[in-house]
Chains A and B, each alone.
Chain A
Amino acid sequence: MNALDQIFVSAQHGLAGLAPASWQPLVLMVLSIAGLMAVFGSCFALTTILERKILGRMQNRFGPNRVGPCGFFQPLADGIKMLTKEDIVPFSADKTLHFLAPLALTVPVWLAFAVLPFGRNMSAIEMDAGILFFFAIGSASELAVFMAGWSSQNKYSLVGAMRAIAQMISYEVPLVLAGVPVLMAAGSLSLPDIVQAQSGFVWNFVPRWNVFTPWGLAGFALFLIAAAAESNRCPFDLPEGESELIAGFLTEYSGFKYALFFLGEYLGLFAVTGLAVTLFLGGWQAPAPWLQWFPSWGWFTAKFGALIFVFIWARATLPRLRLDQLLNFAWKFLVPLALINLLVAALWWKVPAPMPVRWLVCAGLLLVPFVWLARIWNGSRPTQRQYDYAG
């Protein structure tokens, strides 16, 4: 059990042991980086095909099923197509920025994976302020999107970039605020510590994951919503908004640069999903005491996959919001609720009451503002309508 659990760690150290002693730290680092890039690169390829297949099934279609067995070589075909496509740079584009934008989006996103604990003892860097690093790195993608939209010198791109910036600034606030109660609970900014704080079980079967507390549940929901907006996922995919803005800030990109943007967006989604798993779903912890034989990285992967599925599911179901509604939703609903959640989380730790009572009180304290805010954020109008019939 332990061997399987630590198989990647021991493999890494075994390989590094072949190198001379002075080189070992460097080799260890390179191995972690190579591993991360290999795993999440193939994860990207797998997700594109699985997403299309799942979307297809949800829409009662087959999805791509022509290339290779069950269509699973489709990403390969897409990659070849993207690589061999002509790279078009508009005549009036700012060529330097147009070239730098996809890099500026993709590189920081790769960095964000460095602090995520994918399993027991499995994080590339153990950093004291890991979560701060994560958010700091994530904020760079806004500038990349702006660079892409502005440098294309296309009106649709520019509008898309403006939307993207407004959206990312707005949703970063609830994203961080939703995570703060977890930091309070763990008393640390380091992600492995946060996972460690969620170990153990209540009454020997309910895991002590944050998501099973009222503030954790609310925080999880807020975090997922804000994460969808941060990574431009439906129903917050306004910057691309293909029915309105052609492809938004991607309109003037083609070929491999477009593929890089695509990669960057998916990696951003993976990173933020991994963070959601770490913060709220107990990271690599097993969901029950008798399931601990399963390797920790397996549990991380399972939770990660489930969350990605939820994003795909929402994408198949929901139409997108309008920009003003999107911003109202962030500032008038998510941010107040996240702040209230912060208070409730503080209360959760300070109220001396038995568990069920505490749970109900805190849930009630969250539910009331939720209902109230949900009614007023979009100008409190009834959604149900009556219709008359003639003749």
Chain B
Amino acid sequence: MPGEIAFYLIALFTVAFAAAAMTLRRLVHCALCAAAAFAGLAMIYLQLDAEFVGFAQLLVYVGAIAILIVFAVLLTRGDEVAPGNKQSSPSWMAEVAVAVLVLAAMAIAILRSPSLHRLASPGAAAPVKRIGEELMTRYILPLEMVGVLLTGALLGAVVIAMRDESEPKQPERVVSHLSDPKEEVVSR
């Protein structure tokens, strides 16, 4: 019973922050709320005794991805949404459609999952060691694929970032008070 209360509290926390992340006006607030929602997710994992996944969620999402979002918010021009503007994108229909499709796909996958129909055995927490072993043996191919994908993404990011460098640099402005001596005529 206390576990269930905790679950509902955490779920409320997560959903509330996720909603706040979508509705708040200031982008930085949204980013911080998103980080809080990520932390809520991590708590749900922890409540499920999935220590490794929970901490990885914290480390990756709160520690890295949220920071990246914040960075992106700061580095781009933070044009604030005007207070009266209710709908920020004209193509909202398409977006809703995409969201519904994704939700449907995930719901189908979850509903079809066999684990839904049996209760988790008590003490089924996966020790870190076993996760590691599984990753290194049974799931080695997906792991390697993810690694290759991430490396490719990294290289792509580097290439994109490097393009600025190859462009001809603007000549450094040399400001010298001596370059054009302004003759001042003193009249008496």
CB pair A146–B70 under 8 Å, yes or no, is: yes
A138: chain B residues at CB < 8 Å are 63
Complex CA–CA separation, A76 to B187 (angstroms): 68
Contact B70 A136 (CB under 8 A): no
Chain A residues in 8 Å Cβ range of B32: 97, 143, 147
B117-176 contacts to A (CB < 8 Å): 127-129
* A139 in contact with B70 given A129-B51, A150-B28, A189-B128 (CB within 8 Å): no
Query: Which residues of A156-187 have CB atoms within 8 Å of chain B's CB atoms?
Result: 162, 165, 168-169, 172, 187
Indicate if B10 sits at the interface (CB-CB under 8 A): no
B67 within 8 A of A: yes
The answer to whether A137 has its CB under 8 Å from any CB of chain B is: yes
Determine if A328 is an interface residue (Cβ-Cβ < 8 Å): no
Interface of A (DSSP majority class): helix
How far is B75's CA from A162's CA once the two chains are assembled, in angstroms?
Answer: 10
Residue from B55, B56, B62, B129 within 8 A of A143 (CB atoms): B62
**Docked CA distance A187–B29 (Å):** 41
A165 pairs with B70, CB closer than 8 A: yes
Secondary structure at the B interface, as helix, strand, loop or mixed, is helix
Query: In the assembled complex, which residues on chain B have CB atoms less than 8 Å from the CB atom of A128?
Result: 51-52, 127-128
Q: Does A127 contact B (CB under 8 A)?
A: yes
Count of chain B residues with Cβ under 8 Å from any Cβ of A?
Answer: 24
Tell me the residues in window 273-310 of chain A with beta carbons closer than 8 Å to chain B beta carbons.
none
Is there a chain A Cβ closer than 8 Å to B104's Cβ? no
**Residues of chain B within 8 A of A132, CB atoms compared:** 51-52, 55-56, 59, 128
CB distance from B76 to the nearest CB of A (A): 14
A133 with B55, Cβ < 8 A, contacts A128-B127, A165-B70, A165-B71 known = yes
Cβ-closest chain B residue relative to A104: B32
Bound-state Cα–Cα, A346 to B63, Å: 28
**Inter-chain contact B127/A142, CB cutoff 8 Å:** no
Is A135's CB under 8 angstroms from B59's CB? yes
Structural contact, B55 and A142, CB atoms closer than 8 A: no
Q: A139-B62, A188-B129 are in contact. List 5 more A-B contacts (CB 8 A).
A: A128-B51, A129-B128, A146-B67, A165-B70, A188-B128
Pairs across A and B, CB under 8 Å, 5 listed: A132-B51, A132-B59, A136-B55, A140-B63, A143-B67
Residues of B whose CB lies within 8 Å of any CB of A are: 26, 28-29, 32, 35, 39, 42, 51-52, 55-56, 58-59, 62-64, 66-67, 70-71, 74, 127-129
Query: Top 10 A-B pairs ranked by shortest CB distance?
Result: A139-B63, A136-B58, A132-B55, A136-B55, A136-B59, A129-B51, A129-B128, A189-B128, A129-B52, A133-B55
